[in-house]
Amino acid sequence: MTEPVLEPWAEDIACLRLPMPAFGGVNAFILGQPGNQTIIDTGMPGAETAAIWHAALRNGSAGGVEAVFCTHAHIDHAGQVGLLARETGAPLLMSVGEYEDLSLVNGMTFEERQRIATIFQDKGGFPLEGRGHPTDYSVLAPLHGQVQHVNDGDTITLGGRDWEVMLGGGHSRAPVCLLSRDLKILLAGDQLLMGSGPQVPVQAERPGDDMLGAYFSFLDRLDTLPDDFVVFPGHGDPIHNFKQQVARIRNGHRQRLDRLLDKMDGAMTRAELASLVFTDPSSRLKARLPYLTTALTNYLITQSQILACDDAGILKYWRNDDAPTRHR
Ligand SMILES: [Zn+2]
């Protein structure tokens, strides 16, 4: 039996690192004192993580749970929301957008998601080889129980302390960050991570979304926070000097956009553009390229820098300033 190990990260904030081999773990947080606590994020579905939560509830590490908060709908954060809501009787708190997305994919079979992903990748001109599989959210328990929505700008009391709700975007549709000006802490979910930052993917179910535009807006908003805030991310350790990381991530996206525009030559598919921008990707990243590349092309279309046209079922893109000479 795995006993939960709580790491105190700040006054009345403990981090519970949950198993997720692909990313070296996913962070859940427990806010407040036993008897008056909120759980933030829940880990992957499956028996291993469920056993940790059962142990935490049994040994009092998580007790008197008043709310189960889920920052965003991704499986590594929402994997145990059903179990925790059921075991604690507490309401599930999410943004409207994330709850809608979670309900949507939770209600779809793996085959339905696969079919939509196939259409999306076919349109991008991606070869069959190297394609990944969509995540199967039907493995989650049905999402019934009490749900409360939180909105941007709300102030809510969690674990005996007031938190401001800040809705992000880009990594998912309407993820929630929680801000304590007293503690100078931002619970960021996956909206800010170390390394190259969170993935900014377009979802196959919403192929037209400008996720990168949403993410840039979020990064601009982070820049308006005081410099001395500490970010508690959904993966990894606390992030100090977070504005350096904001700048690094923004630069990374800008460089990929510049490279795409610079190397784009005539009408090209998303698969061709992906190979210009993401050189030598790992097999895991390769499976994500259809989604990450579409975030770039959707952004550039929104910015009127490129155009797209359907060519026998495959979308082709070209630079806006290139169109008159080559394609008219
Ligand atoms: Zn995520």
Q: Is residue 294 part of a domain?
A: no
Give the C-alpha separation, 43 to 26, whole Å.
Answer: 6
Distances from the Cα of 34 to the Cα of 37, 149, 152, angstroms? 6, 24, 28
pLDDT higher than 60, residue 109? yes
Q: Residue 229 domain-assigned?
A: yes
Output the domain CATH number for residue 68.
3.60.15.10
Distance 196 CA to ligand 1 centre (A): 14
Q: Which domain holds residue 224?
A: 6-258
Q: Above pLDDT 70, what percent of the chain?
A: 98
| pLDDT band of 2, cuts 50, 70, 90 | low
Q: How far does residue 28's CA lie from ligand 1's centre (Å)? A: 13
**Angle at CA of residue 295, ends 318 and 176, nearest 5°:** 160
At residue 126 the predicted structure's pLDDT band, cuts being 50, 70 and 90, is very high
Residues with CB under 5 A from ligand 1 (ion): 74, 190
Cα separation, 271 vs 326, whole angstroms: 20
- In the sheet that 161-167 helps form, which strands lie side by side, from edge to edge? 155-158, 161-167, 176-180, 185-189, 230-233
The answer as to whether 216 is a domain residue is yes
Q: Residue 315: inside a domain, yes or no?
A: no
Task: Kindly state whether residue 36 falls inside one of the protein's structural domains.
Answer: yes
Identify the residue whose tokens are 């350096």: 244
Better-scored residue on pLDDT, 44 or 21: 44
Task: Give me the number of domains the chain comprises.
Answer: 1
- Buried b vs exposed e over 38-56: b needs ≥16 C-beta within 10 Å? bbbbbbbbeeebbebbbeb
Cα–ligand 1 centroid distance for 313 (angstroms): 31
Ligand 1 centroid distance, CA of 325 (Å): 42
